[in-house]
Amino acid sequence: MVNWENKIKALFHDPIVKAYDIKGHERIAKELLEILNLEYSRGDEDILSSSMDRMPLPFERSKKRLKLNLDDLSCVKHPMSASDLKIDFPESSTVFNELRKKISEIKNINNDKEKLFHALWWHLPDLAECSSFLPADTRFANHSIIDHLESTSALAGCVKKDSFDGSLISLSIGPVQTFISAARKTKDLWAGSYILSKLTYAAIEYIGKNYGFDSVIFPSVRNTAFVKDTLDKIGVSLIDIGKLPDPSKKVASLPNRLVAVVPSDEAKDILHEASENVRKTWHKMYDTNLKGKEAIDNTYLEKQLNTFPKIYTASQRILNPDKLVRVVKAFYKDSDIDKELENLIRLYKEFHAFEPNKGSFYKDVFRLLRSKTDATKSLRTFDYFEDSSSSNGKIVDGDDWSSDMKAIYEFTEVDNEGDEKTDRLNTVNAVKRSFAEKNSEYFPSVDDFAEKNKNSLEKIMNQFDKQIKKFNNSYYAILVMDGDKMGQWISGLKAPKIEDIIEDSGNNSIIKKLINKDESFPKELKEFLYNRSTIQPSYHRTVSRTLNIFSTLVE
């Protein structure tokens, strides 16, 4: 059972405003927790989270340890591009007062610790001005304090009897392309994408309600309509900050997969329950949208319905470095994780860095999880499928858009010219159609697109005083937008190197000077540090959050 109080403590073990006052940040954290009637504490989850999100900086345990304030930074770094972000941070007194006021307001309307945690997590980026840009560590300012706090509270949920034992889990839903492409109308396309998002959220909701939405590393779910509805249903009270518009309920903002961190001893049960939640949600969609509609023959209806979705799950324990090295080397001949561990141990013993721990190799744990997921998908199980749906003794025609399933539902509509048109669909496609008709607003038909295309082209060509007749046509176009090289982004192949995220100007450049000019610091260790990729939980949260925000902008 999750200790929600400990998760709140972890969520505020560092104050959001830490960068303003590095030396006094613990005092500020204690003050904020006092508002919540909680005592300050800091556990192993902070050490693990720091190791996941930060570079192994040398001299951390010596007098050479560097501490840089926010004023020492000329910029913060974008987590994905490492480009400079010039942020005008407000005065500290204004930010501190705003933070205290909002925390107090949230606490006063959420007396239950579980509900209080959900409310604090939801509002975390909005508790102080520009908090999403405030760095967790000013020495390499490529990730937000918000992401660090979220990772820390997620790891705290995996601590039992003062010992951390967590696993990364993944769940994905398919098939994606065939499910979406089996569309005859624009509203079918919308419904296909939206239903996949809704089913993914069914798994996320189980994890979020029982372990905290902070546990979900990918995708980013804060400020989505799905989570907002869940928080409302379970009685979480939110304050009106008014900085962001209410999340749209029309946008299919979630991908078909998730990655989360959960207690290892519960990982198997969590994946099972999350999968069951997906199946129940799919059947509820049928009950809500299609059950009252009469089928031509319902003999194989249930069988058709159960062909979708396919759910793939995997888990990977976050292991101690020594054991992880053995596992990784056994599976990946190209991995140099053993050399990485040697370098980290050398930094620890000879150059006063922190000792490597379970959090030091997040990228390798994530790689193992991805490989397990891919292997699971490649092992296809095929159930014998027979569909002899009939009408008046004659076998019903198949749904041309979906394998061997018969078209047992009819949908009749009147087109723009008053003619009736009937689509015959199998149960899976019929759920999409009925869901779209009951839940969506007006979607232009392909004929409407064609007419708009013709009229728009005519206006454009008239501007150039050219004949338009030869351009008249009834063709239409559908714009398909897909994130380029998403696999490389998620896997971290396109993640910045550490050297790129250490600012090379102003006071922060002393990090490089300290390493470069220290004659006792070996060149090979310097190259090792600088060339490490910034594949971190915060990086994955940023990739997903960016996609999520983009999806709302192109609605």
Q: What is the pLDDT of residues 246-272, one digit of tens each?
A: 777 777 789 899 999 999 999 999 999
Instruction: Return the percentage of the chain with pLDDT > 70, whole number.
Output: 85
pLDDT at 535: 85
Q: Band of the pLDDT at 510, cuts 50, 70, 90?
A: very low
Cα Rg of the chain, angstroms: 27
**Under 8 Å between Cβ of 111 and 502:** no
Q: Band of the pLDDT at 461, cuts 50, 70, 90?
A: low
pLDDT at 506: 46
Q: Band of the pLDDT at 466, cuts 50, 70, 90?
A: low
Asked if pLDDT for residue 136 goes beyond 80, the answer is yes
307-308-309 Cα angle (round to 5):
140
Give CA–CA dist 263/550, Å, rounded.
32
**Under 8 Å between Cβ of 364 and 324:** yes
**Under 8 Å between Cβ of 373 and 260:** no
- For 167-232, give the DSSP string: EEEEEEEE--HHHHHS-SSHHHHHHHHHHHHHHHHHHHHHHHHHH-GGGEEES--TT-HHHHHHHH
- Which tens digits make up the pLDDT trace of 222-242? 989 999 999 999 999 999 876
Give alpha helix (H) positions in 332-413: 337-351, 362-378
Of 123-137, 144-158, 414-428, give the range with the top mean pLDDT: 144-158
357-132-19 Cα angle (round to 5):
65
Candidates 537, 464, 455; CA nearest to 136 is: 537
Residue appearing with tokens 């005092």 = 27
pLDDT at 155: 96
Q: What is the DSSP letter of 315?
A: E
Positive or negative, the Cα torsion across 179, 180, 184, 186?
A: positive
Tokens of 337: 């994780």
Q: Band of the pLDDT at 114, cuts 50, 70, 90?
A: very high
**371: exposed, middle or buried (C-beta count within 10 Å: 0-12, 13-18, 19+)?**
middle
Which residues sit opposite 412 in a β-bridge?
422
Give CA–CA dist 385/216, Å, rounded.
36
The strand ranges marked E within 32-134 are 76-77, 84-85
The residue count for the chain: 555
pLDDT at 484: 64
Average pLDDT, whole number, for the chain?
Answer: 86
Give CA–CA dist 235/112, Å, rounded.
10
- CA 138 to each of CA 18, 54, 496: distance values in angstroms, whole numbers, following the listed order: 9, 11, 17
Give CA–CA dist 391/412, Å, rounded.
18
Give CA–CA dist 106/59, Å, rounded.
40
Least confident of 61-70, 173-182, 418-427, 507-516: 507-516
Which residues sit opposite 393 in a β-bridge?
none
Tokens of 395: 């076998």
**Under 8 Å between Cβ of 115 and 238:** no
Candidates 339, 390, 399, 393; CA nearest to 364 is: 339
Asked if pLDDT for residue 22 goes beyond 60, the answer is yes
467-468-472 Cα angle (round to 5):
150
Candidates 149, 116, 108, 120; CA nearest to 25 is: 149
Give CA–CA dist 435/287, Å, rounded.
11
Stretch 186-200: mean pLDDT: 92
Q: Give the torsion through C-alpha atoms of 328, 333, 338, 344, to 10 deg.
A: -90
Residue appearing with tokens 């971290």 = 492
pLDDT at 44: 86
Asked if pLDDT for residue 145 goes beyond 90, the answer is yes
Tokens of 491: 């896997």
Q: Band of the pLDDT at 162, cuts 50, 70, 90?
A: confident
Helix, coil or strand: residue 44: helix
Backbone φ and ψ of 488, nearest 5°: -70, -35
Cβ neighbour number for residue 423 with a 10 Å cutoff = 18
Give CA–CA dist 277/261, Å, rounded.
18
**530: exposed, middle or buried (C-beta count within 10 Å: 0-12, 13-18, 19+)?**
middle
> Residue 321's Cα: distance from chain center in Å?
26
